[in-house]
Amino acid sequence: MSTSSVPLPPVLEKIVRRLQQTTDPKRRYEYLLWLAKRLPALPESQKNAENRVPGCVSQVFIIAALVDGKVTFEADSDAQLTKGLVALLVEGLNGLTPQEISQLTPDFIKDTGLDVSLTPSRANGFYNIFQTMQRKALLCQLEISMQSVADDSTP
C-alpha cells in the first residue's frame, strides 16, 4: 500500500485506502469536506500564533497533548477544504505515540492521490500541517521528559 518503510497506523491506512479507491477528484474533495464537518471547532482563545501552522495560505491551528503516552490533536482552519485535510491527519494520527508519529514519512500523502488534485499551495500546506503535527507530538514527549527530570531532581 504505502511506499513508506514504516507501516501506516490502521486508521490512517483506512483513510488512505478510501482515497485511493476514489478516482474522481470531486469525490475526494467531498470526502475532505465531510471530514471537515466532523472536526470540532477550536475555541477562539486557542487560535493564536503559538498554535498556527507556518507556511499555509489558510489559517490552520493545531494543539497537541500527551495523554497516557498517546498524542491527541485538536485543530481548525478557516478554509473548509484545508480543514478537511487537517481533519484527515487528526483522525489518522490521534492516539499514536510521539515515536510512531515521528517515524511516519509523508509518502502516504502521495498515496492518497490528493497531492495531484490539490493546488500546489494546498498540497504544500498539507505537508506543512503534517510536519507541524510531528513537531508538536515530539514537543509533547519532550515536555513530559523534562517534567520527569525536574520532578526527579526535586528534593
Tell me, letter by letter, the H, E, C secondary structure of the chain: CCCCCCCCCHHHHHHHHHHHCCCCHHHHHHHHHHHHHHCCCCCHHHCCHHHECCCCCCCEEEEEEEECCEEEEEEEECCHHHHHHHHHHHHHHCCCCHHHHHHCCCHHHHHHCHHHHCCHHHHHHHHHHHHHHHHHHHHHHHHHHHHHHHHHHCC
Task: Out of 56, 86, 87, 88, pick the active-site residue.
Answer: 56
Annotated active-site residue 56? The verdict is: yes
Residues labelled catalytic: 56
